[in-house]
Structure 1
């Protein structure tokens, strides 16, 4: 039996992903805004930066998962822990690369945009690889630290709580950084800054956008450097990135000091271990599916599309809401922090109700309900206009988008966990495949949106309404196709039989009744069965004091085949 983890270990583990959460919040929310409005990249190059990051992340995630799960034979790394070693390496890479992504091109300010793109390309790839190292190693520690389901759930809950705090912290830091930032002396003429209502006739707002350079009589006030993001705000974004890195390193240090990783026992050695001191016998794990077998299952493709639609919806509104606030509504720059703050807070509040809603109407109907909420937000955003909308309506729209996004994300991950079922060794491949589809589709779609930008203020309203709304409609269509499908129970029993015949099978004796049955000892692959941000409680424990599985298999092998949960 596992002992209860001390509260110091639980809290220290919970803060271990804060650095990643801070960086991810800035990446998805402010990347396009920074490269288009601050660095003055054209839409195509800004989208290409994000596409490079998505592809690098999609490729790095399964690669890091495979290698981080292997035994580390370097003595000092083995003593420190294979998970913590990868976590430390990822933290260092993120700390080095991330500040350069949200900064001007150092030493190459006078070069052309494509040369600058090469400069940022290097740091984006380094950052995404480091981010994957931290994400996978941190998630993989949960089954290493404890085999008890309740403690795994508790660790995952603490981790999610700090994720929420990290995201809200980014928006708070952004609010104060942009609200207190002062334009440089080069933007002041005649003793007046651009934060005032009147200007010297010789002054010109610092923007290359003709939409903002044009004048309007009797209409809305002209956006200026005081309320519109521009090159003069480069220092503010650099400071936000540096503050996030500083906070992230502190919490990562707490994680490395407070968490002690259990020693790693290779799979073959663990299966050869004698019974535990209390006389309990080791038990086999459920049969697993081979990678090739997943491609024979139609729900595998359906749920991949479902997850892709979810990530498209969430990432698109997160990336384009800041541009919508600035370029379409022309609101003050503090709304760049306030609107995402309201979205994320509402999404977190909605997530608290997911458990009860899932119990009452099921996961598929809950997903469809989240799609309807998201579509409602998109429709309101399309028709929203006037002073009421700019003052408080935009926050209600953001709340609807956030609630819809959290509902889709949580439910789609739960459905994916149902697909995996007890085939935890296949989780590596399933989540790796989902991640590839997600990252590549997001990068390509955003690239198409950027390339199609007509430089009109209404464009971002159309993007959020039709692109996010279409993603929700696609999700509803997939859910309808899954209504009569028992997810996780449609696998061929021939697959299980072929796996039981694997050459690596071992014979174990059941503790009760003295009977024996041949079964395959479970493969310890915790790093890869949680490639995505999946709920840990759905993953059965790989080991208990050297045993291969928690639950006993029936004595009769044929009965085992009939009772195995597909």
Structure 2
């Protein structure tokens, strides 16, 4: 009995040691397919659907249907993962579904071709269905990948390293998308509906090819987490949902994560519209400015991997990112067209803020879970549900008002600005969400919940 206890303690201690860089790398690339398709989804879906003839409200319905399907899928998939485990199987199945369905979203209306119909209602239903299927696969990959962090290691600092690595490769995926888009938009013209669909179909095929290559690297390089099995039985027991609903920290982390995703997704959805319609910048700006944002985010994410983490630092860095976003939001609200070049400088700070709030917000989930691994997938799934539903509803409300206000955009004089929906979406919404997120984070008590606060290098050499 004594020897078995010692062995169990040795096994648990082995999971508190820092991870090697190669392990962190293999994990980090596992979300590339999700990231590159999600970047295309939030950047170009509304633009694509309106370019092929759907109204802004119908385009918003397609977006909302995907978000709702994603939200509910995360809850059920999280529960199934907590019951049965097998993270890599869920990840592989979700990736396969994403790869198959994503090209159907941007590949034109298949039922319209079969029925030889030009009905906008059929188009909307078709795109909404494929959007829902795509998002269900996306949810399976996301929840399994996020939950793995807590079952790979108990080292709180290494958990942040895994999250930071994932965020860094998310920036790589976003940059890859814009590089692909620049090439496709440069070599082909969208003078007809068919040509527009062809452009986005090639972008979708390219994104799937690149993303699947990294999924294969992840599946080959990452072992199925054994931490859940090797820990003591008390830590392996499946935790009921009610347990989390009794923790104040759960609600605090949920609010912060929800607001962080609102900041990132809503701002990304309206960035291209803002620089072209509101600021009337060159067409290249809708690729260059997002590229600057993601380059800065990538650099900051890499730097965050070298910091020893504890609860106070998580709070401090999140608050710093939120404050930066507040200043960026106010600057965007007040930026006139006559000095639109300042948007390049603002994009640098947006990139820094995005990395700070995203890495720390996701890491707060790991702090909440700690060593209670029996509910890690439920926590990730439930928080993702709130994220998807809130983002879908926010974009639907904004896009619904867009149809009423967009005709007024072109009548403004060159040296003025109007408080358009895109300006609110890119400036006001992120600024308000950041303010609330900082306020909630300030009152969190994270130090007492961290399993072991290790002041040591983030990664092993």
Structure 1 and Structure 2 fold alike (TM over 0.5): yes
Of 98, 123, 136, the match for 1:129: 136
Q: Which residue pairs with 1:447 in the alignment? A: 396
Task: Write the distance in 1 (CA, Å) between the matches of 2:246 and 2:21.
Answer: 44
Q: Deviations over 1:56-109 (max 9, x none)?
A: 11111232233245448xxxxxxxxx3333333222211211011113223516
Does structure 1 residue 294 correspond to structure 2 residue 227?
no
Correspondence list, 1:100-139, <5 A: 100-106=104-110, 108=112, 110-139=117-146
Correspondence list, 1:316-465, <5 A: 316-352=266-302, 354=304, 362-386=313-337, 388-389=339-340, 392-453=341-402, 454-455=405-406, 456-457=408-409, 458=418, 459=420, 460-465=422-427
Of 468, 483, 486, the match for 2:445: 486
Q: Which residue pairs with 2:103 in the alignment? A: 99
Of 138, 160, 171, the match for 2:178: 171
Of 47, 58, 70, the match for 1:57: 70
Of 37, 46, 63, the match for 1:23: 37
User: Unaligned regions of 5+ residues in structure 2, if any?
Assistant: 1-10, 410-417, 453-461
Tell me, yes or no, if the aligned pair for 2:64 and 2:396 is still in contact at 8 Å.
yes
Tell me, yes or no, if the aligned pair for 1:376 and 1:400 is still in contact at 8 Å.
no
Q: Which residue pairs with 1:505 in the alignment? A: none
What SS does structure 2 have at the residue aligned with 1:108? helix
Count of residues in correspondence between the two structures: 421
**Structure whose residues are more often helix by fraction:** 2
Tell me, yes or no, if the aligned pair for 2:147 and 2:377 is still in contact at 8 Å.
no
User: Unaligned regions of 5+ residues in structure 1, if any?
Assistant: 73-81, 187-229, 272-281, 491-537, 541-566
Q: Which residue pairs with 2:413 in the alignment? A: none
Q: Which residue pairs with 2:438 in the alignment? A: 476
Of 175, 180, 189, the match for 1:182: 189
CA shift at 1:175, angstroms? 1.7
What SS does structure 1 have at the residue aligned with 2:110? coil
CA shift at 1:433, angstroms? 2.7
Alpha-carbon spacing, 1:359–1:342, altered in 2? closer, same or farther (3 Å): same
Which stretch shows the higher mean deviation, 42-51 or 343-352?
Answer: 343-352
CA shift at 1:342, angstroms? 0.9
Task: Write the distance in 2 (CA, Å) between the matches of 1:358 and 1:261.
Answer: 26
Correspondence list, 1:189-228, <5 A: none
Task: Write the distance in 2 (CA, Å) between the matches of 1:297 and 1:15.
Answer: 32
Alpha-carbon spacing, 1:266–1:244, altered in 2? closer, same or farther (3 Å): closer
CA shift at 1:414, angstroms? 3.1
Which stretch shows the higher mean deviation, 420-429 or 443-452?
Answer: 420-429
Alpha-carbon spacing, 1:130–1:360, altered in 2? closer, same or farther (3 Å): closer
Q: Which residue pairs with 1:508 in the alignment? A: none
Of 231, 241, 245, the match for 2:208: 245
Q: Which residue pairs with 1:76 in the alignment? A: none
- Structure number with bigger Rg: 1
TM-score (norm 2): 0.78
Alpha-carbon spacing, 1:358–1:16, altered in 2? closer, same or farther (3 Å): closer
TM-score (norm 1): 0.65
Q: Deviations over 1:23-61 (max 9, x none)?
A: 11111222222112x222211111111111111111112
What SS does structure 2 have at the residue aligned with 1:452? helix
Does structure 1 residue 162 correspond to structure 2 residue 111?
no
Task: Write the distance in 2 (CA, Å) between the matches of 1:462 and 1:318.
Answer: 13
Which stretch shows the higher mean deviation, 1-10 or 155-164?
Answer: 1-10
Tell me, yes or no, if the aligned pair for 2:36 and 2:207 is still in contact at 8 Å.
yes
Does structure 1 residue 311 correspond to structure 2 residue 315?
no
Task: Write the distance in 2 (CA, Å) between the matches of 1:319 and 1:41.
Answer: 17
Task: Write the distance in 2 (CA, Å) between the matches of 1:425 and 1:158.
Answer: 24
Tell me, yes or no, if the aligned pair for 2:32 and 2:170 is still in contact at 8 Å.
yes
Task: Write the distance in 1 (CA, Å) between the matches of 2:308 and 2:223.
Answer: 37
Alpha-carbon spacing, 1:434–1:89, altered in 2? closer, same or farther (3 Å): closer
Alpha-carbon spacing, 1:168–1:438, altered in 2? closer, same or farther (3 Å): same
CA shift at 1:357, angstroms? 10
Tell me, yes or no, if the aligned pair for 2:95 and 2:137 is still in contact at 8 Å.
yes
Which stretch shows the higher mean deviation, 131-140 or 169-178?
Answer: 131-140
Q: Which residue pairs with 1:217 in the alignment? A: none
Q: Deviations over 1:499-553 (max 9, x none)?
A: xxxxxxxxxxxxxxxxxxxxxxxxxxxxxxxxxxxxxxx788xxxxxxxxxxxxx
Task: Write the distance in 2 (CA, Å) between the matches of 1:142 and 1:329.
Answer: 41
